[in-house]
A = this chain, B = another copy of it.
Amino acid sequence: MRRLSWRMVVSGVVGLTVALEALPWLLNWLQVRRRRRPRRDVLFFPSQVTCTEALLQALVKAPDGPTASCPCNLPHCESSLSRLLRALLAAQDSLELCLFAFSSPQLGRAVRLLHQRGVRVRVVTDCDYMALNGSQIGLLRKAGIQVRHDQDLGYMHHKFAIVDKKVLITGSLNWTTQAIQNNRENVLIMEDEEYVQLFLEEFERIWEEFNPRKYSFFPQKKQGL
């Protein structure tokens, strides 16, 4: 009997050891499964010209409405532009845009659709590129979206977006059809708290600085490039 209880105690302790060893691994495994991998993506341009109609339509149609296939002749596959659109259209609450030039009709339409859906959109841009041929800024303003612009000597040359204060989209790409279809460009899409926070602070700094109450109506002209 004494021999049996001795064996039982040892087995119990060994069992406890194994269980204690396994526990952190099990918890970690469960945590990794639960924790979605944060989004990290790089888009390179020029982008193949593809149809983006389905992506934009998906934002306006009723959830149980018919999914009309687009009859146009463009390829209906993924492209850098469609991936950029998808990242933007994911916005549910807020969208901050800090863009030097904004004339892409697809991106303009996406931003207006988000605004219609109730996403709080704020746009900061460079005053020299606001009224250029094809600029989307007028259409955004007409739709009721808040736009602020610089009056500085230098350019407001950022090209970044922040989606739902969680995802940063930044790079070399101006939001123009020329840049999307012809230029060598890069865009990073990063679900990264640290970077998002820093860019959000930069946005708020500029947003406050470009407050219309601070406009001077006879600013100096900009210097050359």
Contacts and interface: CB of A to CB of B under 8 A. Distances in A.
Nearest to A156: B184
B153 A199 contact: no
Given A9-B10, A13-B13, A194-B40, A186 B158 contact: yes
Copies in the complex: 2
Interface of A: 2, 6, 9-10, 13-14, 16-17, 20-21, 24, 40, 42, 44, 46, 98, 100-101, 150, 152-160, 170-173, 176, 178-179, 181-186, 188, 194-195, 198-199, 202, 206, 223-225
Given A158-B172, A172-B158, A199-B42, A178 B225 contact: yes
7 contacts: A9-B10, A157-B184, A157-B185, A158-B172, A170-B171, A172-B172, A186-B199
Contacts of A24: 24
Contacts of A44: 202
A152 B182 contact: yes
Contacts of A171: 170-172
Nearest to A182: B154
